Structure 1
Amino acid sequence: MQKAISKYWPVFVLPTLLAFIIGFIWPFIWGIYLSFQRFTTVSKTTFVGLQNYISVFSDETFLHAFSFTAAFTVVSTVLINVCAFAIALVLTRGIRGTNLFRTVYFMPNLIGGILLGYIWQILLNGVLANLQKPLLALDAKAGFVGLVILMCWQQIGYMMIIYVAGLQSVPGDLIEAAKIDGANDREILFKIKIPMVMPSVTICTFLTLTNSFKLFDQNVALTAGEPANASEMLALNIYNTFYGRSGAQWKGIGQAKAVVFFLVVVVISLIQLKFTRSKEVQQ
């Protein structure tokens, strides 16, 4: 078997590697190149150096979208992980109907983002109308809260499954030994369970953080950035810059925004991974 693998591995690796290069690596490199250009089509470009990047950081809509996205990411990441972990704790206590609850909580993650956004837009606007409050498209604060509710409803069930797997991997002997030594439920939770499920915390935090920063389709469907781009997130701001503004300079600026966006997500993700992995313990 080992000889066959060592002999024929290129046959299996090369098609996937070629598809990865064509579908990801080459467009990524080309995108970086275009971020230094002024263009209307990729075949007609004019080099402008760092002018596009200077324009990015002088664009007030981009700076507002960044602050809005950062605030949304912090709130949604904390809420999703706390709620998902709490539900996972309940569902690992051996109560009846656990499998049914896990399935029901996971189902929202199967719904597409655009469809989910329009469903919640109808629901939340109906509630706001009954309360005689401004609708989502008329109030940025309501739009922010609506996006958080939508994101939590969609992601909590998925993260719960990961936390359930982490909690089930905690050795029962360790918990029994702690109880024999007189540890109460609070001490077992904070000194045994949470440290032992830190790998799950790392995964869930990474997923919720990156998903929140990259949120696009739900933002389009729920608020479309209204009112006056006040609820516009980074991905939607980049899209509107590239496709929604006339002039050759805006496509280059939009591409530069995409590169900045990529770097921001990578840096924040690496910091998060380094921090949470430092808290992991060996079983």
Structure 2
Amino acid sequence: MTAEIESPAGGRQQKVQSAEVGVGILKALAELAPATSLSKLAEHVGMPASKVHRYLQALVDSGFAEQDVATNHYGLGREALQVGLAALGQLDVLKIAAPHLVALRDELNETCFLAVWGNKGPTVVYVEQSIGAVTLVTQIGSVLPLLSSSTGLVFNTFLAANETAALRELESASLSAKQLKEVDKHIKEIRSTGVHQIHGMLMAGVNAVSSPVFTMGNKLAGVLTVVGSASVFTSDVQDVAAKQLLKTTQAISARMGGTLPT
């Protein structure tokens, strides 16, 4: 009788341990994103490669991981993305910003998106697409550069320096002294106006306007950006968009109990 009682408990404990290992491997895939080799993943989690491989196969079969057939490297799969997006959906900024982005897109007929700060930097989490060409920066999950995109520069301006330090140092190494001075000018402009316009900075022929959203304590919650083709999203149109975007981010910030720091 005792054995019959203990056996199911032991089975449950083993399942719990297996689940913990699987979750640990998923976390490691996220930390090593966008992709990593089996050997590096095994080293990262401190487990034998053969054991990690068994778990990876189960994760691939369930859609939580995927393997690049060309490189054999592993990364997060579609199901993991869905879970991540569902978690992001619990964030107040996404819930509150979504209807505002719809209205902004309808008014401007330009693509509008929300980015939040992720483990790799400014990450697009919600998009309202205009009728027209889709650009690479408007895909959910896209990670934008910190110092060479309108969205990134707003994050660089208002996030705590220690949060952006590693990425800022990495990107600064590839910029000239003149470009770094330009970054400083952008930061001053963003701080004084709360909105930032870029002409073809990240992608030639693509213009963008970005503005921050703040929550209680005037903490940066995210950045809203309007992006469009330079042939249509001209300077005059961009100026109008900047005014409307600023009104939108101010309304969202007020709803979240925040305001632009002075």
Q: Shorter-chain TM-score category? A: under 0.3
Please state which structure has a larger fraction of its residues in strand.
2
The structure showing larger relative contact order (alpha-carbon pairs under 8 Å, at least 6 residues apart) is 1
Normalising by structure 2, what TM-score? Answer: 0.24
Q: Which has the larger radius of gyration?
A: 1
Please state which structure has a larger fraction of its residues in helix.
1
Normalising by structure 1, what TM-score? Answer: 0.23
